[in-house]
Amino acid sequence: MIDIIEELCQKIENTILGDKETLEKFRHDFIGKKGFIPTLFESFKALPVSEKKIIGPALQSLKNEAEAKIKNATKLIETYVASSTTHKEDTTLPSFGPEVGSLHPLRIIQNKVISIFERIGFNLVDGPEIVGDWHNFGALNFAENHPAREMQDTFFIQRNPDKLLRTHTTSVQISTCESQVPPVRAISMGRVFRNEAISARSHCFFHQIDGMYIHTHVTFNDLKETIYYFIYEMFGKETKVRFRASYFPFTEPSAEVDISCKLCAGIGCTVCKHSGWVEILGAGMIDPNVLMNCKIDIDKYNGFAFGMGIERIAMLCYRIDDLRLFSENHIAFLRQFTACL
């Protein structure tokens, strides 16, 4: 009998009473009316006294062990059931919505500008950020000794054959003219690079949008109408616009375009340097040399072009006063644009 007691003892130790059903079965098997332990007590009665002295205490401790195990398990299961009913999830509560990200402010402005120009038939074209001197300067009529070609302004990657980081998206005008035949109505946008110290007002990379229109009999008035349309759509019909004569190697005549300052409504503030005007783009009639460099027949075709900085427009639209914010990726800064999709 001592072997059976030891075997049962082992069984008690090894059984895990994790739920009510297993607990009840255990109780039934071990201490139920016809369970192992009562049956052993029955057989115990018939034993000779000498054996009873040895088996008695072992049998009693087996019973104690079984009862203690049942008591502990009952307590544990009861507390678990009680806590799971009190802390039950409230399934009627509204769920947490998915965390909404935001478009980058420069992307928002880019999308807006693209959609404005697409409405009047401009196609979006793309060009590489690494270009040769020809696409960035030569074909755009920059003189051989033009200061922009110097190391101080341009990031050269390689001298021979020349590879550099484009300093303006105007380079895309050349690659587009190489692959398309007029009439061309295209805008391009992307990152440009200049060797400048990083501060609130200048950066070594920023973004530009460049556009061009090549057709027969294009006039300066076509350019003006296009620019007026863009400015009214982008900044509102109440915006004042002024064209100032300027110079770019790739346009003749050239102009810079100012709009009345959005921040102070033209009264004067630090952004417009108290002039009431802010410059937003450069433009002009494409210089015939540029068209010839792209093998376009200048007796038949002419065109206009324009270019602007995206950061400048975003700064005006969102009252941002530090260029560095656009590339530092502070979550608190970016979150402000969640609603501007």
Please calculate the CA angle 56-57-60 and round it to the nearest 5 degrees: 85
292 vs 303: CA distance, rounded Å: 12
Are β-strands 184-193 and 123-125 bridged in parallel, bridged antiparallel, or unpaired? parallel
* Using rule CB under 6 A, residue 175 touches ligand DAH: no
Is 171 among the residues that bind ligand DAH (CB under 6 A)? no
What is residue 316's three-state secondary structure?
Answer: helix
**Residue 294 interacts with ligand DAH (CB under 6 A)?**
no
Q: What distance in Å separates the CA atoms of residue 326 and residue 200, rounded to the nearest whole number? A: 10
The answer to whether residue 283 forms part of the interface with ligand DAH (CB under 6 A) is yes
Q: Interface with ligand DAH by CB under 6 A: which range of 14-22, 151-159, 261-269, 282-290?
A: 282-290
Tokens of 162: 């020349």
Residues 240-279 that bind ligand DAH (CB under 6 A): 248, 251
Degrees (nearest 5) of the Cα angle 242, 243, 246?
145
Using CB atoms, what's the residue nearest to ligand DAH? 307
Residues 21-50 that bind ligand DAH (CB under 6 A): none
By 3-state DSSP, what share of the chain in percent is helix, strand and coil, each rounded to 5? 45, 20, 35
Q: Does residue number 284 form part of the binding site for ligand DAH (CB under 6 A)?
A: yes
Stretch that binds ligand DAH, among 101-109, 235-243, 303-311, 323-331 (CB under 6 A): 303-311
Which residues, including other chains, have CB under 8 Å from residue 241's CB and lie 6 or more apart?
A: 227, 228, 231, 257, 258, 259, 260
Q: Is 282 in the site for ligand DAH (CB under 6 A)?
A: yes
- Choose between 40 and 285: whose C-beta lies nearer to ligand DAH: 285
The minimum distance between CB 189 and ligand DAH, in angstroms, equals 12
Measured from the CB of residue 307, what is the shortest distance to ligand DAH in angstroms? 2
Cβ 256 to ligand DAH shortest distance, Å: 8
With residue 177 as reference, give the H or E element that holds it: helix 171-179
Does 132 participate in binding ligand DAH (rule CB under 6 A)?
A: no
Out of 306, 311, 312, 323, the only residue in the binding site for ligand DAH (CB under 6 A) is: 306
Query: How far apart are CB 102 and ligand DAH at their closest, in Å?
Result: 28
Total residues contacting ligand DAH by CB under 6 A comes to 11
Q: How far apart are CA 30 and CA 17, in angstroms?
A: 13
The candidate with the shortest Cα–Cα distance to 309, out of 334, 326, 331, is 326
Q: Which residues of 39-60 are buried (b: 16+ CB within 10 A; e: fewer)?
A: ebeeeeeeeeeeeeeebeeebe
Residues 196-235 that bind ligand DAH (CB under 6 A): 210
Output 55 or 316, the one with its CB closest to ligand DAH: 316
**Binds ligand DAH (CB under 6 A): choice among 125, 184, 272, 305:** 305
- Toward ligand DAH, which CB reaches closer, 231 or 283? 283
CB 320 within 8 A of CB 263: no
- Contact positions vs ligand DAH (CB under 6 A): 168, 170, 210, 248, 251, 282-284, 305-307
